[in-house]
Amino acid sequence: YEDPPTREATAEGRRWTLKVTSWNVDGLRAWVRKGGAQVSQVHSSCPQSTPVPPSSLPAPHKSTPSSPQSLQSTLSPSQFTPSPPQHLQHLPAPPVPAGDPEHDSDGRVVTAEFPSLFVVSAYVPNAGRGLVRLEPRLRFDAAFLAFLRRLDAQKPVLLCGDLNVAHAEIDLCHPRANRASPGFTPQEREGFSRLLGAGFVDSFRHLYPEARGAFTFWTYLGGARARNVGWRLDYAVLSRRLLGALCDSKIRNTVAGSDHCPITALLAV
């Protein structure tokens, strides 16, 4: 898959004013060593990271504003918009009570409120090897959808992040061999379908419905990335009423530094 040239404007000719890039950086120390922080600055990204204390980051990244340094997904307003949000909420999992052990360790959501929309950065829990955490994952999906619908009732939503699901067969390289694999079970795929049915849109598939080989995750094993044996697990999902503001939805599959690549949404808001 070759990422096409960026669409700088909407179909009506309005140029983008908001760019949000989301990137699951996996191991933060390795990501920094591989130059991920520099790429993040260029692409104005909102990384989802694993917990790392600031003191353990190599200099000069210990104190730079763009360095993610917390358990939660880091969403720094200065990285993607010229004006700060009205409200920025950092919680392990806003859809469930704070302190809930079922989700606090792996479900991370950050919500930023702006005058015209909410921007949500999320890492959705993985169902786990052998699907040992499928039921908690499905409970999270239901609670998260309810949370997004509450936001959407107030103003439109842009959700970006690793949603840990390949929605359709076109979204992974070997669908037949992975029907019982985490991220491609019927239950997880149905959960994403319910999200779309609730008034949200997969921005990439809206613009590129037939694009094949458009993946955002590749295992480190077996040279999967070089052979493009991957999955599309990372999404920019919009409230349907934001479609008129959508300029482009990008998969930056040439960017290295993690087993995921960044994705970018460009909106004229």
Among residues 152, 162, 202, 234, the one annotated as catalytic is: 162
Number of Cβ atoms within 10 Å of the Cβ of 148: 25
The answer to whether the CB of 68 falls within 8 A of the CB of 47 is yes
Catalytic residue among 123, 152, 234, 248: 123
Cβ atoms of 250 and 6 closer than 8 Å: yes
Question: Active site includes 162?
Answer: yes
Q: In terms of Cα–Cα distance, which of 194, 220, 258 is closest to 43?
A: 258
For this structure, is 206 an active site residue?
A: no
Binding residues for Mg(2+) are: 24, 162, 164, 259-260
CA 43/CA 141 separation, integer angstroms? 29
Helix then strand then coil, % of the chain, to nearest 5: 30, 25, 50
| Residues 27, 63: Cα–Cα separation, whole Å | 18
Active site annotation includes 260: yes
From the annotation, which residues make up the binding site?
24, 162, 164, 259-260
Catalytic residue among 43, 61, 167, 260: 260
Token pair of 173, please? 């390289």
CB-count exposure of residue 197 (10 Å: 0-12, 13-18, 19+): exposed
The residues annotated with a catalytic role in the active site are 123, 162, 260
